[in-house]
Structure 1
Amino acid sequence: MTESILKKLEKTREKMIRSGIENGFSNVETIRLSKKLDQLLNAYQMQNNHDTKKEYARNIELIKQ
Structure 2
Amino acid sequence: MRRDDLLTQIEQKRTEMIFTAAKYGLCSVPALKRSQELDRLLNQYSQYTLKSKLQTATSFL
Asked which structure has the greater CA Rg, the reply is: 1
When normalised by structure 2's length, the TM-score is: 0.94
Count of aligned pairs: 60
Shift of 1:53: 0.1
Amino-acid identity (%): 23
Structure 2 unaligned runs (5+)? none
Question: Which runs of structure 1 show a deviation greater than 2 angstroms over 4 or more consecutive aligned residues?
Answer: none
Structure 1 unaligned runs (5+)? 61-65
When normalised by structure 1's length, the TM-score is: 0.89
Q: CA RMSD in A?
A: 0.6
